[in-house]
């Protein structure tokens, strides 16, 4: 299945043209400065009553990990998710040993909300997972103060 649907791209937002294309339904391509696609970002399991969903992000090329693309993409996606889609909360679950991902999420403003102990049986071992959450008011206070009190 393709990550995006051909013909549904629009110009996006984000500094340096890094996050330049997105698909209308909330699944976006992450591009580098040359507009080369390097990954994707989107959401899953949207709950329309409580307006929350899980974040899905993946940068496919290891040589561009830890260069800021992931955290920058989350900030750009967050504006669409909270202020255009109108969602209230974004959550994610991450392996406890994935320190790079946790650092990226915490840098952006996600709060660690708890640990699911031995939640996954992987390669013959039990692994812990952490739950993280980011609220609309936290996102907007940090990244969109221009929107004022009503956006909090």
Ligand X SMILES: CC(C)(COP(=O)(O)OP(=O)(O)OC[C@H]1O[C@@H](n2cnc3c(N)ncnc32)[C@H](O)[C@@H]1OP(=O)(O)O)[C@@H](O)C(=O)NCCC(=O)NCCS
Residues forming contacts to ligand X in the complex (CB under 6 A) are 39, 57-59, 65-71, 92, 94, 98-101, 103-104, 107
**Least distance between ligand X and beta carbon 98 (Å):** 5
Q: In degrees rounded to 5, what are phi and psi of residue 68?
A: 95, -5
Contacts of 4 (CB under 8 A, 6+ apart): 21, 23, 27, 28, 29, 40
How many Å apart are CA 99 and CA 22, to the nearest integer? 28
Question: What's the rounded Cα separation, in Å, for the pair 112 and 4?
Answer: 30
3-state secondary structure of 148: coil
**Cα dist from 15 to 35, 73, 111, whole Å:** 13, 10, 24
Residue 21 CB, nearest distance to ligand X (Å)? 17
Q: What residue number has its CB nearest to ligand X?
A: 70
Q: How far, in Å, CA of 88 to CA of 97, rounded?
A: 28
Identify which of residues 94 and 135 has a Cβ nearer to ligand X in the complex. 94
Give the residue with the Cβ less far from ligand X, 46 or 48.
Answer: 46
Q: Which helix or strand (DSSP H or E) is residue 71 part of?
A: helix 69-78
Give whichever of 120 and 147 is closer to ligand X, judged by the CB atom: 120
**Closer CB to ligand X, residue 64 or residue 141?**
64
Among residues 19 and 82, whose Cβ is nearest to ligand X?
A: 19
- How near is the Cβ of 7 to ligand X at its closest, in Å? 26
To ligand X, the closest distance from the beta carbon of 28 in angstroms equals 13
Instruction: Report in angstroms how near the CB of residue 108 gets to ligand X at its nearest.
Output: 8
């Amino acid at each position: 299945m393709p990550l995006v649907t051909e013909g549904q791209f629009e110009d996006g937002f984000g500094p340096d043209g890094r996050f330049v294309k997105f698909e209308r339904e909330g699944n976006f391509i992450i591009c580098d400065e040359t507009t080369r696609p390097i990954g994707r970002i989107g959401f899953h399991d949207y709950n329309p009553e409580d307006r929350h969903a899980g974040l899905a992000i993946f940068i496919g090329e290891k040589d561009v990990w830890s260069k800021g693309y992931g955290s920058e993409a989350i900030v750009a996606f967050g504006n669409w998710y909270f202020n255009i889609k109108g969602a209230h909360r974004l959550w994610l679950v991450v392996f406890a040993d994935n320190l790079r991902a946790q650092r990226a999420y915490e840098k952006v403003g996600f709060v660690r909300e708890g640990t699911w102990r031995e939640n996954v049986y992987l390669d013959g071992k039990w692994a812990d997972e952490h739950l993280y959450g980011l609220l609309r008011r936290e996102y907007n206070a940090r990244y969109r103060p221009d929107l004022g009190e009503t956006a909090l």
